[in-house]
Structure 1
Amino acid sequence: MLRMVIAATIGLSGAASAQESETLRVGMSGGYFPFTFVRQDVLQGFEVDVMNAVGEEAGLDIAFETMSFSGLIGALDAGRIDTIANQITITPEREAAFVFTQPYVIDGAQVVTKAGNDDIGGVEDLRGKTVAVNLGSNFEQLLRDLPFADEIEIRTYETNIEQDTALGRVDAFVMDRVSSAQVIKESPLPLQLAGAPFSEIRNALPFGDTEEGRSLRDRVDAALTVLREDGTLSEISQKWFDSDITSPSVEAE
């Protein structure tokens, strides 16, 4: 049965440390539909439901703190938050700086273009094109790792990534498969998926590589294991996406 989760209003923060107050300070952007977004001044989404379920299982109060996506890693590194729930992809660079829970979302990178754009049918067609990615995301590095990366002009955005693609100011944007499909479904802008997803990505919760951080990571990871085994993660995913994006067996559509 899906555990009851309570949407948090913006502005919640834990003044004391997680260890002293049993509060887990969770950073997120609040601007990445449908994972974390604000509607009628209420912070909600897949990530919010997952973290509320984690808190219930682990016996932790969850305090959400919203900020720009590009500032989340710095806030975690500085100890202003305890973790980030905002589709953080595990990368070698991040693993060198933080400790991660088990992945709770298995996804793929997706190219999105203006509807009717027949010039781009997938990632291989990005040669000679201008491509937008969210500032601070892993998608910039994924593009730079392509063998033809020097033929792509990459632009980073905090906002308006979908709008500028629809208006033709950039040729395409790259986002995770699940978010891309949801953005197209919800947006009035003329957008379309371009080809199949590429480069499997695994998203998890990062913690500081300290004794306290590792202890919190282990506690949260144990909760994720229970939530996976009792079906809660799958039910939260079905609620937001009508599919299970939490299983390692998920296949790109």
Structure 2
Amino acid sequence: MKKRLIATLILVAATSAALAGCGAKSSSNDHLARIKSAGKITIATEGVWAPFTYHDETTDELVGFDVEVAAAIAEKLGVEADFQEVAFDGGLTGVTTGAFDMMANGVDVTEERGKTYDFTEPYAYDHAVVVTLATNDTISSFEDLNGLTTANSAGSTYEAMGVQYGATVSNVDTIGETMTLVQNGTVDATINANTSAQDYFNTTGATDLKVAAVDPEVTQYAIPLKKGEDNDSLRDAINQAIKELREEGKLTEISIKYFGADITSE
């Protein structure tokens, strides 16, 4: 009887240890669990693409639509938002290598990116546009860019669109530089987000530029995560946060603050 009792206790102990071990392994393989354990989520963003992510001229504080949306998501997850400023292509690469937990930078969902990233549900919508000099009467469509030059952020969808339509693309870091290259004639045009172009016109008062063409296809902005089951629970949690922020009217509030309009619904 004594031997049987000892054997039973050993079996119970072994089972408990095994279950504990399984729990530890599950946690180590779950990105959301690691984020909550660290108490922060690391977010890649450019900090130079107004009004999505940029620095306030007076306070030099990192602000913008994506910055506030990402901070609100982090709050929903119960962790601190740790923003890391990096070039657009560096942010995407950092997500795949694990240097960043996520990226918030007006990253649009494409079929090609879907091969590398698992995207959350969209939280905003836009259109790509071609911006030229106001005096330019030779460009009125994306097809007209064939054989011409454009300027865009490296790794952006807009760079890819320029190449797709036969343009030679120069890479720049900021939207201001992009517009300057168009203004001084270094490039013929830029492909960019309509929201960013309109914000640039409004904030700078530039009258020497115009939107020459608008892509009818809707751009969906979402958060890219590294592919894999490790991010399943994180993606679900972010999707739930986006859903709640939309239902609470917070997404609309942030959008109107930065765009003067609600771009959070199609």
TMscore range, shorter length: 0.7 to 0.9
Task: Say which of 43, 68, 90 aligns to 1:49.
Answer: 68
Q: How does 1:1-253 map to 2 (within 5 A)?
A: 17-39=34-56, 40-145=59-164, 149-150=165-166, 152-159=167-174, 160-187=177-204, 189=206, 190-248=208-266
What per-residue deviation string (whole Å, max 9, x for no partner) do you get for residues 200-241 of structure 1?
211100112233322211111100001111211111111111
Percent identity, please: 33
Question: How far apart, CA to CA, are the structure 2 residues paired with 1:19 and 1:77?
Answer: 20
TM-score using structure 1 length:
0.84
Which deviates further from its counterpart, 166-175 or 93-102?
A: 93-102
What per-residue deviation string (whole Å, max 9, x for no partner) do you get for residues 66-113 of structure 1?
111121111111111100000111112221222111011111111001
Question: How far apart, CA to CA, are the structure 2 residues paired with 1:59 and 1:211?
Answer: 22
Letter matched to residue 163 of structure 1: T
Question: How far apart, CA to CA, are the structure 2 residues paired with 1:127 and 1:184?
Answer: 25
TM-score using structure 2 length:
0.80
Aligned length: 229
User: Which residues of structure 2 form unaligned runs of 5+?
Assistant: 1-33
Query: Match of 2:9?
Result: none
Per the TM alignment, residue 171 of structure 1 is displaced from its structure 2 partner at its CA by 0.7
Contact (CA 8 Å) 1:82, 1:213: kept in 2 or not? Answer: no
Question: How far apart, CA to CA, are the structure 2 residues paired with 1:44 and 1:66?
Answer: 12
Structure with the higher fraction of residues in helix conformation: 2
Letter matched to residue 146 of structure 2: R
Structure with the higher fraction of residues in strand conformation: 1
User: Which residues of structure 1 form unaligned runs of 5+?
Assistant: 1-16, 249-253
Per the TM alignment, residue 155 of structure 1 is displaced from its structure 2 partner at its CA by 2.5
Which deviates further from its counterpart, 190-199 or 87-96?
A: 190-199
Question: How far apart, CA to CA, are the structure 2 residues paired with 1:169 and 1:134?
Answer: 16
What per-residue deviation string (whole Å, max 9, x for no partner) do you get for residues 111-138 of structure 1?
0012322222232332332122221101
